[in-house]
Structure 1
Amino acid sequence: MPEQKTNELVRKIFEAYLENKNLRKTPERFAILEEIYSRNDHFDVETLYIHMKNQKYRVSRATVYNTLELLVSCDLVTKHQFGKNMAQFEKSYGYRQHDHVICIECGKVVEFCDPRIHQIQTMVGDLLKFDVKHHSLNLYGFCSDCSMARKVNESAKTAKPEEN
């Protein structure tokens, strides 16, 4: 689906959600929605807030937090806890099911999609008589950069000092 069509649809979904909950449809809320749907990455609240401030949007940190919670509630944004006590978010409307590999050193998040995981989901659902709608899989390890740095540090620790 083209990006402009998606943006129009998510805006309509958000408008309907706000109306249904008797919440105000403020320009700030829609600016946050637009900003999120212009991104293709995972982000935390602070990163989004700073980016919006740099773009000269007049939004408070509280507005960003509150709007994100509303967007999560109406399934336009997904909230992840990848560790380190910091929530990460990503747009979710029209987004394919995918999973994540997270570096436990630097926090890098890489998405991947493997059809075998969907097959396992279906098989487990059939076996346990569940109508499984979605899943969440996060794998934790060291990215190649951090893995290399760890090896260099380990080598430096085990190297014997030169004698005079």
Structure 2
Amino acid sequence: MLAEIQEKLNSFLKTKGLRSTPQRNAIIDIIFESDEHFTADEIWDRIRRANSKASRATVYRTLALLVEADLLHEIDLGEDTKTYDPNFNDKPSHNHLICIDCGKVLEFEDSHIELLNDCLTRRMGFRPKSQSIRIEANCEILRTKGACQNLLHARLAGKRLPKKR
């Protein structure tokens, strides 16, 4: 677990009158072992495979604590499912491109968007703090090649797929 995350979390837990537990630490380790987006169910599945003694309720409470502590960001990638982003602290203004065929999510940053965001908000009397754009698109692989490895992997992994529109 990253020392910085652990330190910030411990300070936050102390202000809430809570303590660090082995179950909570196992959940945090799994969350921050990669910077990929995830759902609560996906973390719960990884916890079970890791043979942790953490309950589903502990997973949900830990996610809520991490969001409240500003260590995890809840993002809307559509489909009425909460998705969590563990790397928004490194890049608070990043955007998501979502394939509506296979569900693949790509993060992107663009200095032109940052500049436009800054100009628009200042012109309207605001100061930008962060920004998030969600673009839903087709990744063209399915159309051009007739098959999409991302779609196949998503189905085999049991990942949620976007609803067809």
TM-score range, shorter chain: 0.7 to 0.9
Unaligned runs of 5+ in 2: 148-165
Q: What does residue 134 of structure 2 align with?
A: 138
Cα deviation digits, residues 34-89 of structure 1 (max 9, x gap)? 21111121111111111121111111111111111110111101111211121111
Q: Distance in 1 between matches of 2:36 and 2:143?
A: 23
Question: Which of 71, 75, 86 is the matching residue for 1:76?
Answer: 71
Q: 1:116 aligns with which of 112, 119, 133?
A: 112
Q: TM-score with structure 1 length normalisation?
A: 0.81
Higher helix proportion (structure 1 or 2): 1
What fraction of aligned residue pairs are identical, expressed as a percent?
A: 30
Relative contact order (C-alpha < 8 Å, sep 6+): which is higher?
2
**Aligned letter for 1:124?**
L
Contact 1:10/1:76 (CA < 8 Å) preserved in 2?
A: yes
Report the counterpart of residue 23 of structure 1 in structure 2: 18
Aligned length: 145
Over aligned residue pairs, what C-alpha RMSD do you find?
Answer: 1.8
The question of whether the paired residues in 2 share the 8 Å contact of 1:15 and 1:25 is answered with yes
Provide TM-score, normalisation by structure 2: 0.80
Is the Cα–Cα contact under 8 Å of residues 98 and 111 in structure 1 kept in the other structure? yes
User: Can you give the 5+ residue segments of structure 1 that lack an aligned partner in the other structure?
Assistant: 151-164
Structure 1 distance, partners of 2:11, 2:51, is: 27
1:60 corresponds to which of 40, 50, 55:
55
Larger Rg: 1
